[in-house]
Amino acid sequence: MSDTYKIGLGNNDTDIRKKADSDFVSFWNDQAKNLTWFSPWKKTLDWQPPFARWFVGGTINASYNALDVHQETKSQKPAILWEGEDGDSRILTYGQILTEVQKFSNVLKSLGVEKGDRVTLYLPMIPELPIAMLACARIGATHTVIFSGFSATSIRDRVDDSKSKLIVTADGGYRRGKIVKLKEVVDEAIKGFDFVKNVVIVERTNNEITMTSKDRLWNDLMNNASDSCPAEKLDSAHPLYILYTSGTTGKPKGVLHGTGGYLTHLYSTFKWAFDIKDSDVFFCTADIGWVTGHSYVVYAPLLHGATQIMYEGAPDFPDASRMWDILQKYKATIFYTTPTALRMFMKFGDDIPNSFDLSTLRLLGSVGEPINPEVWRWYYKTIGKEKCPIIDTWWQTETGGMLISPLPGLETIPLKPGSGTRPIPGVNITVVDENGKDVEPNTKGYLVVKNPWPGMLLTLWGDDEKYKTVYWSKYENCYYPGDYALKDSDGYLWLLGRADDVLKVAGHRIGTAELESCIVSHDDVAESAVCGIPDEVKGEVIIAFVVLKESVTTENKILEKELVEKIRTDIGAIATPKQIYFVSKLPKTRSGKIMRRLLKAIGNNEKIGDVSTLEDGAAVTEVQAAFDEIQKSIKESN
């Protein structure tokens, strides 16, 4: 933690932090004035712990702020530079997107979608996805985007929970040169769902599809739609979207975000973190199916009238040069990606990126998980040529936007490889012990947020009690994100991984309970426990321990294939374990609870600690032997 990089962009507005520290409510009140409101708010914050309502009484519209406000000055400016994996490309201006959004808004209305209804979007990374999102926002429908890699079962759970009236999908999407048949997945997912009235299909791949009575084609609907649709004047707390995220229970949580506070948070953090200028070309590699895509692909760049690159496809297809080729082609100035992607690029060596002209880059960003210091240095030297600040950001689906990050658009401070530096202005974040007391510098503890912030979730969809329990029950009136962290003597924050039972694979959160219940649903399985172990590319990979029923005679290799197939079908390929190990018993307490702490400790080569409640020490020995064998197998395969 000793090496620092004293680089920045020359800004040093110390007054803004002083204002934020002295009165965070007044501070955010001023920030909200950067947006266009139809009517002003009467109260900046209504804080009834743990429920926050920001800019109470104000009316606003996300689509209007993303598009209409730019029409006088930027209607001809490119908003999206879209690149398809198959080599296709499109450029959409702010004027063109506004036209398309208004037309699809009218399409939604013609199909019976009203303010407050939910609309599920299951699309590849094509411009029709942000267009559909902004159309929903324009008429006050709540969009719920599902990552296009999820299975029919995962979609079914989410559509059922949200009771979406309409689904937008495509005939297919491209991934590593193959067509992913999205429409077929949707058909399977919504069998028997009478509440789904229509499915709108974007014809993307010429993949042959079977039409049902609910199905409508995007182009046919758009050709007959009016291009005029005024934006609805919505309450600041109007639900903008639901985004489902895995947790420590089997059922995904529907994180519900509002409008006014969320947009205020995004406008401010995008400006501070990226020092955004009118001449910038911004490229965030996140899929819109995840929150980074919502916040920093769709909403924040458009709020600022920025030009951005949007890419459909794998980052290393058709070869490892794809990202650098895109950066060079579009003369990108800002690149925001994940440590997982960077670790993958590192494995290919320096020659590939060095063969491209990346001289237009002026700022680099990292998101999704803590970045390893060695990866940070590679990013800084090889990609940034030692001239680009690195914005290492920490935040969650639930926080809406960045909470910890260097802020070159605001201040110049030393950067430390692997640290997210400090909280954004207006947010009080610290590290505490089990009892909620601040720990000494350089001491591992729990990260907590001590005050509400505008981008925070309103609640969990349909479950206020779970919202209270999951995020606000560990420490009184403090938001608990479930992460370990430490604060060094300079006040810099270092994220140390999850403190709960959520796995993070390639930046994607997967609940252990969801995965374990899937495995146990196999007829031959009695028990299962999963955990993550470090992986130099994905950050974490999944290891599953399975106890079979005594009557099972099927060979383990066959069972392993069946379990992998089941996981891929029920949850998605991202949840596939790196290794499945069959054991005779799992380490449990005498009360029958699986001691996942032991699995984590063994997997991370840490001290096991107190085992006084352990029922049978032989189970630990067996798990330890399994890990040793797994590590040997992984090394050999690499």
Q: pLDDT (tens digit, 9 = 90+) per residue, 231-283? A: 999 999 999 999 998 654 457 899 999 999 999 999 999 999 999 999 999 99
**DSSP secondary-structure letter at 629?**
H
**At a CB cut-off of 8 Å and minimum separation 6, what does 384 contact?**
361, 364, 390
How many angstroms separate the CA atoms of 415 and 3, rounded?
9
Distance CA 588, CA 483 (A): 24
Please return the burial class of 409, using the count of CB atoms within 10 Å of its CB with bins 0-12, 13-18 and 19+.
Answer: buried
Count the neighbouring beta carbons within 10 Å of the beta carbon of residue 214.
16
Residue pLDDT, tens place only, 72-100? 999 999 999 999 998 899 999 999 999 99
In a domain, 300, yes or no: no
pLDDT at 436 exceeding the cut of 90: yes
408-412, 583-587, 626-630: range with lowest mean pLDDT: 626-630
Is 237 within a domain? no
Of 211, 232, 253, which residue constitutes the final position of a domain? 232
Query: What's residue 601's pLDDT?
Result: 75
Check residue 1 and give its pLDDT: 43
**Who wins on pLDDT, 590 or 323?**
323
Give the C-alpha separation, 343 to 361, whole Å: 19
Pairwise pLDDT comparison (271 vs 594), residue with the higher score: 271
Instruction: Express each pLDDT in 162-175 by its tens digit.
Output: 999 999 999 999 98
Indicate whether 482 pLDDT > 50: yes
pLDDT for res 250: 57
pLDDT of residue 634: 61
Q: What percent of the chain has pLDDT over 70?
A: 92
CA distance 67 to 74: 9
Integer angstrom CA distances of residue 367 from 292, 370, 393, 433, 487: 8, 8, 5, 26, 19
Can you list the positions of beta strands (E) in 203-306? Answer: 215-217, 234-235, 241-245, 253-257, 281-284
Q: Residue 208: give its domain's CATH number.
A: 3.40.50.980
Q: Which of the two residues, 200 and 341, has the higher pLDDT score?
A: 200
Domain of 133 in residue numbering reads as 94-232
Domain C-terminal end among 232, 257, 276: 232
CB 421 within 8 A of CB 413: yes
**Measured distance CA(438)–CA(450) in Å, rounded:** 12
Contact 346, 378 (CB under 8 A): yes
The enclosing domain of 526 has a CATH number of: 3.30.300.30
pLDDT of residue 47 exceeding 50: yes
Residue 268 lies inside a defined structural domain of this protein: no
- 246 touches 268 (CB < 8 A): no
Does residue 68 carry a pLDDT above 60? yes
- Structure tokens belonging to residue 122: 């299951």
Q: Report in angstroms the alpha-carbon separations of 162 from 111, 130, 186, 241, 590.
A: 18, 20, 15, 10, 39
Report, as an integer, the average pLDDT of 587-602: 67
376-433 confidence digits (pLDDT tens): 999 999 999 999 999 999 999 999 999 999 999 998 889 999 899 999 999 999 999 9
pTM score above 0.75: yes
Instruction: Name the 3-class secondary structure at 506.
Output: coil
132 assigned to some structural domain? yes
Q: Can you tell me the distance from the alpha carbon of 77 to that of 243, in angstroms, rounded to the nearest whole number?
A: 30
Count up the domains in the chain and report the number: 2
Indicate the range of 7-16, 308-317, 337-346, 434-443 predicted with least confidence. 7-16
Q: Which two tokens stand for residue 439?
A: 């720990």
pLDDT computed for residue 233 by the predictor: 98
pLDDT of residue 6 exceeding 70, the answer is no
pLDDT category at 374 given cuts 50, 70, 90 is: confident
Residue type at 101 in one-letter notation: V
User: Per-residue pLDDT for 630 more than 70?
Assistant: no
pLDDT, position 217: 98
In a domain? residue 207: yes
Count, residues in the chain: 638
Write b or e for each residue in 623-633: b if 16 or more Cβ atoms lie within 10 A of its Cβ, otherwise e: beebbeebeee
Whether the per-residue pLDDT at 636 is higher than 80: the answer is: no
What percent of the chain is modeled with pLDDT above 90? 66
556 found inside a domain: yes
**Cβ–Cβ under 8 Å, residues 96 and 156:** no
Return the closest-CA partner of residue 230 out of 142, 303, 299, 140. Answer: 140
Query: What's the whole-number average pLDDT of the chain?
Result: 90
What was the pLDDT predicted at 249?
Answer: 46
- For residue 612, the model assigns a pLDDT of 46
pLDDT at position 248, please?
44
pLDDT at residue number 591: 45
Does 255 map to a domain?
A: no
Pick from 360, 353, 345: nearest CA to 324: 353
Q: C-alpha angle with apex 300: 294 to 306, nearest 5 degrees?
A: 125
* Per-residue pLDDT at 517 exceeds 90: no
Q: What is the pLDDT of residues 519-554, one digit of tens each?
A: 888 988 888 888 888 887 888 889 898 988 877 888
Q: What is residue 79's predicted lDDT score, i.e. its pLDDT?
A: 98
Least confident span in 111-120, 475-484, 599-608: 599-608
The sign one gets for the Cα dihedral 599, 600, 604, 608 is: negative
* Residue finishing a domain among 206, 232, 258: 232
Domain-embedded: residue 175: yes
Helix (H, G, I), strand (E, B) or coil at 409: coil
DSSP designation for 558: H
Rounded to whole angstroms, how far apart are CA atoms 273 and 278? 15
